[in-house]
Amino acid sequence: MKRKHAWILLFAAVSLCACGQQEKMQKAEGVRLEAAKEMQTKMTEKEKEMTQKMKQEAAAREAAEKAAAEKAAAEKAAAEKAAAEKAAAEKAAAEKAAAAQGDFYYTALTDEIKARITGISYPDTAEPLQISYQELAYVHVLHYDFNGNVKEGELVCNQAIARDLTEIFQELYRWKYPIEKIRLVDEYGGNDERSMEDNNTSCFNYRVISGTTRLSNHSYGTAIDINPLYNPYVVTRSDGTTSIQPANGTAYADRNAEFSYKIDHEDLCYRLFTQHGFTWGGDWKNTKDYQHFEKKY
């Protein structure tokens, strides 16, 4: 009986111990679950905060981009308006100058003229050029063509000779001196040969001297070619052969021959240009450029 009672007591003690241990484990599990729940709650709140913050940042970026776009659009509109107003003012000034001076006048280059010559006779390049827009002038004249009709003429030249050219062409017009065409070389794509072949009188063209790497005085707007087909550029080489430009002007290289539109020392064009301080290419020694007048400044 005593042994049985002892076993019962032992079993009871073990059961109580097991129950206590299980209770502790349950409590621990409860604590763990509570902690996990709390952590999950905190993470959820953190995620909500981060999501809210991201939304706020995105909204702020969108607002900033919108403001920047609106500012850029406003600045562009203002710049376009200013450019339009400037162009209108320049056009009005040119028209006023034309009205004040008649059909023979010169002005600074307007944006319209700059647009016509840029990338053609005036290179569109980042490299520095030997002449600026500010040093050039636009000249408007009248002239008689070969049929005796009055035509308008346009030239771009150096500011230093703009007045000379205006006065010379006004006098040529008064005497009805025939000049077939006076157009900007840009109408020929800046191609000097094409311009000469068409007997076009022109001045400014940023280019090198034919057969060299040296800039022509046309690049500075201080040289002009008059009726070039009938007054060609003639180079006599060391071997006795000649080069004639334009090629279709070969028949007019013989200056002893008699033909119309020939510039010589008796010609009115020669007299007027030399009176204004120009030199004539027909007086050069090694080459003869009968169409060419230039002035140093």
Q: What pLDDT does residue 98 have?
A: 52
Q: Is residue 38 part of a domain?
A: no
Domain-located, residue 17 = no
For the chain, give the mean pLDDT: 88
Q: DSSP states of the chain as a string? A: -HHHHHHHHHHHHHHHHHHHHHHHHHHHHHHHHHHHHHHHHHHHHHHHHHHHHHHHHHHHHHHHHHHHHHHHHHHHHHHHHHHHHHHHHHHHHHHHHHHHHTT-EEEEPPHHHHHHHBTTTB---SSPPSS-GGGEEEEEEEEE-TTS-EEEEEEEEEHHHHHHHHHHHHHHHHTT-B-SEE--GGGGTT-HHHHHHTTEEB-----BPTTSSSBPGGGGT-EEE-STTTS-EEEE-TTS-EEEESGGGGGG--TTS--TT---TTSHHHHHHHHTT-EEGGG-SSEEETTEEE---
Q: Which domain holds residue 159?
A: 105-294
Beta-carbon contacts of residue 85 (< 8 Å; ≥ 6 apart): none
pLDDT at 23 over 60: yes
Within-domain flag for 236: yes
pLDDT higher than threshold 90 for residue 149:
yes
Q: What's the average model confidence in pLDDT over 141-156?
A: 98
Give tens-digit pLDDT for 168-200. 999 999 999 999 999 999 999 999 999 999 999
Specify the number of domains making up the chain: 1
Answer whether residue 195 is part of any domain. yes
- Given a cut of 70, is residue 217 above it in pLDDT? yes
Does the residue 218 lie in any domain?
Answer: yes
233-287: pLDDT as tens digits: 999 888 888 999 999 999 999 999 999 999 999 999 999 999 999 999 999 998 9
* pTM summary value: 0.68
Residue 86, in any domain of the structure: no
Q: Does residue 19 belong to any structural domain of this protein?
A: no
Percent pLDDT > 70 in the chain is 89
Does residue 157 form part of some domain? Answer: yes
CA 246 to chain centre: 31
Q: Are 139 and 151 in contact (CB under 8 A)?
A: no
